[in-house]
Amino acid sequence: MSERIQIAIDGHSSTGKSTLAKALAKHLGILYLDSGAMYRAVALYQMKHNLNDQELIEQLDRVEVSFNAQNAICLNGVAVENEIRKMEVSNKVSGVAQIPEVRRKLVELQQKVPQSVVMDGRDIGTVVFPSARLKLFMTARTEIRAQRRYNELIAKGDKVSLEEVLENLKSRDFQDENRDTDPLRAAADAIYFDNSDLSLDQQLEKAIQLYQERV
């Protein structure tokens, strides 16, 4: 692949954006980056240091977000992939993602990726890579998303209820769609991708077909 290709996968929480993005990136032999993990890492930093939003803004130059050789998210050089997926961080991340200073810092990092990439998040097709060759906007029925997320958390040993997960998703959807800075929106040229009733293999097959048509 000689030219730099950017593929943007946006959408609601727990629609399987990361799972599909990883699979598509592997199939194409290019880099995968989870932008949401970056916001989760900043949220984790805020929690660990017990900071309010203004204090977090003042300490942003101390927050180093990166990915290691295994493509796991690191906070100040320490892998935090497992920590950022806990419910406490999920409850915090949408609020952190609303802070303009945080968004500016992370968007700048995301736009500096020098190679072909599949990146998923909330504003990849609208803000980070507005000229991406392929943009997908993923969605699924809310109850389907909640069940998927609940199953993931239970498998990891977290003690949560399905009702708690459902309320968290509804809250995050509202915050993501109504924040002042870079709200969750489908780009005008994005393709809606409802995976409520699709297996991962079916999703990947569809995404590959769309890639071949657009790229």
Sequence-ordered alpha helix ranges (H) in the chain: 17-28, 35-48, 53-58, 81-84, 87-97, 100-111, 142-155, 162-178, 200-214
**Would you call 30 exposed, middle or buried from its count of C-beta atoms within 10 A (0-12, 13-18, 19+)?**
middle
pLDDT tens-digit profile, the chain (215 residues)? 568 899 999 999 999 999 999 999 999 999 999 999 999 999 999 999 999 999 999 999 999 999 998 889 999 999 999 999 999 999 999 999 999 999 999 999 999 999 999 999 999 999 999 999 999 999 999 999 999 999 999 998 989 999 999 999 999 999 999 988 889 999 999 999 999 999 999 999 999 999 999 88
Q: Considering just the CA atoms, what is the radius of gyration of the chain in Å?
A: 16
Sketch out the chain's domains with CATH numbers.
6-214 (3.40.50.300)
What pLDDT sits at residue 39? 97
Contact predicate 192/186, CB 8 Å: yes
What pLDDT sits at residue 167? 95
Q: What is the Cα–Cα distance from 85 to 40, expressed in whole angstroms? A: 8
Q: What is the Cα–Cα distance from 21 to 154, expressed in whole angstroms? A: 23
Q: What is the Cα–Cα distance from 196 to 178, expressed in whole angstroms? A: 24
Q: For residue 213, what are its two tokens? A: 């048509």
Which residues contact residue 6 at a Cβ distance below 8 angstroms, ignoring those fewer than 6 apart? Answer: 116, 117, 119, 129, 131, 132, 133
What pLDDT sits at residue 2? 61
What pLDDT sits at residue 69? 85
Q: What is the Cα–Cα distance from 173 to 92, expressed in whole angstroms? A: 13
> HSE-up of 118 (CA within 13 Å, CB side)?
22
Query: pTM value?
Result: 0.90
